[in-house]
Amino acid sequence: MKKVLLPTDFSQNAKNAIIYALKLYKDTPCTFYLLHAYGIPVYSIENWTMDFHETNPIAFYQKETMDQLNALKEELETDHANPKHKFVLQGAFNQLVDEIGEVVKKEGINLIVMGTKGVTGAKELLFGSNTVHTIKKTKCPLIAVPGEFKYESPKQILFPVDFEVDYDKKIIEEFLYLASENKGNINILHISTGNSMTEFQMKNKKKLEQLLEPHTYIFHETPINGVIEGINDFQKKNKINLLTMIMNKHTFLESLFIRPIIRKIGMHLNIPFMVLPHLEGK
């Protein structure tokens, strides 16, 4: 049984990502972990009431969280009933990214699905801070779903590569599972730098081809171009339902997420974005 973690701040963006996950795994037996992490708001003395002062604030917010999670669960079970799916509710007094890491490790999570932005997300940002920190810190595949995205089965998947990664089955296992379950076609996009591929890159390409053998895939080469430009150009010419990349320290993806302000980068991200963690030593 698959285990999918669904962080939520109870925003519409988060709900949209949850519904995407339910539809993506509609034919797969799954346990979905609905997770909300909360902190205690800081109140000035004059804003305190006697009732609040006498109440254990952690207990108060835990109950409020669980009430909201139960309501969300009931709504999902009513609107998206599926005998193959069950829900586990998790409310925690913790930083969201830290709690995600703990749940991933404890429960053996296969995939995290979350919105690209939270309830306070600014329109000019590509991703919200929680999504960025989760991608950077969590050693688990993650799909970030744009808030306005209406579900489409990932029939056409774009997978930009630089062949600088020693591909391992564990890295792309969940990615290949989703491609197989949805009968998706994998478009491998190699963006040229103008230089011939090194022996290391050739070796990695051959290994990737071996891993992809049972699946439908096509290799594409682009002219000398930047990664963002290459992805954008490909999407303009081809209908893509899912973008997938590996989080490699030496690639564009890492530099994208370590920028202090991720805005005006010219990347048109209006489809779900699957980020695969790069295993240490690979």
Instruction: Render pLDDT for 21-75 as a digit per residue (tens, 0 to 9).
Output: 999 999 999 999 999 999 866 554 444 454 554 567 888 889 999 999 999 999 9
Same domain, 131 and 168: no
pLDDT of residue 72: 98
Residue 127 near residue 116 (C-beta atoms within 8 A): yes
Is 60 inside a domain boundary? yes
Is 211 inside a domain boundary? yes
* Calpha distance 177→266 (Å, rounded): 31
pLDDT of residue 269: 73
**Could you give the number of structural domains in the chain?**
2
Q: pLDDT digits over 118-172, tens only?
A: 544 444 445 667 777 787 788 899 999 998 899 999 999 999 888 888 888 888 9
CATH assignment at residue 224: 3.40.50.620
Structural domain including 78 reads 2-145
Closest CA to 69 of 89, 85, 96, 39: 89
Same domain, 140 and 171: no
